[in-house]
Amino acid sequence: MRIELPDLEATAALGARIADRLLPGDVVALSGGLGAGKTTLARAIIAALGHAGEVPSPTFAIIETYDPPTVRLPLVHADFYRLVRPEDAEEIGLDDYRSGAALIAEWPDHAGGFAHEAGCLSIRLETAETGRIAIVEGGADWLGRMP
């Protein structure tokens, strides 16, 4: 599915639709080049889940966590850009962070990818003449609840 995102409002609306359908154990895998809007969409999802504060980019920390009551469900926001090998995700304890939580993963390929998981919603962001385009593919668990 292709979704045009001509402006920040459209990105926020997509983030809200994803947040409404997000469940513990899900992964939202955000890919695209530098500046494609991965962090912007991640922030929109986190805000739609109820977080009212600042949402720092996890580029240097790699993982930021959000827990109720500041969000509707436990959430992990990860930016795997700095990982050298997929095994590095294991070494930082990604599985422990993910237990009972949803995961928003930027640069998912650097962590070995998540598309093989039934609960993965893969979104590739591309720049367009005006704004961005989101190419969305859902795993089996997303069928019937695609944004």
Residue 93's pLDDT is: 93
pLDDT > 90? residue 68: yes
Per-residue model confidence as pLDDT tens digits over 84-129: 999 999 999 999 999 999 999 999 999 999 999 999 999 999 999 8
Residue 56's pLDDT is: 85
In the chain, where are the structural domains located?
Answer: 2-142
Beta bridge partner(s), residue 102: 75
Q: Label residue 37 by pLDDT band (50, 70, 90).
A: very high
**75 Cβ contact partners less than 8 Å away, ≥ 6 residues apart:** 46, 49, 65, 66, 67, 101, 102, 103, 104
Residue 76's pLDDT is: 97
At the fourth CATH level, the homologous superfamily of domain 2-142 is P-loop containing nucleotide triphosphate hydrolases (3.40.50.300)
- Write 46-53 long-range contacts (CB < 8 A, 24+): 46/15, 46/19, 46/71, 46/75, 46/77, 46/104, 47/12, 47/15, 48/12, 48/15, 48/16, 48/18, 48/19, 48/20, 49/19, 49/22, 49/73, 49/75
Question: How much of the chain, in percent, has pLDDT values that exceed 90?
Answer: 87
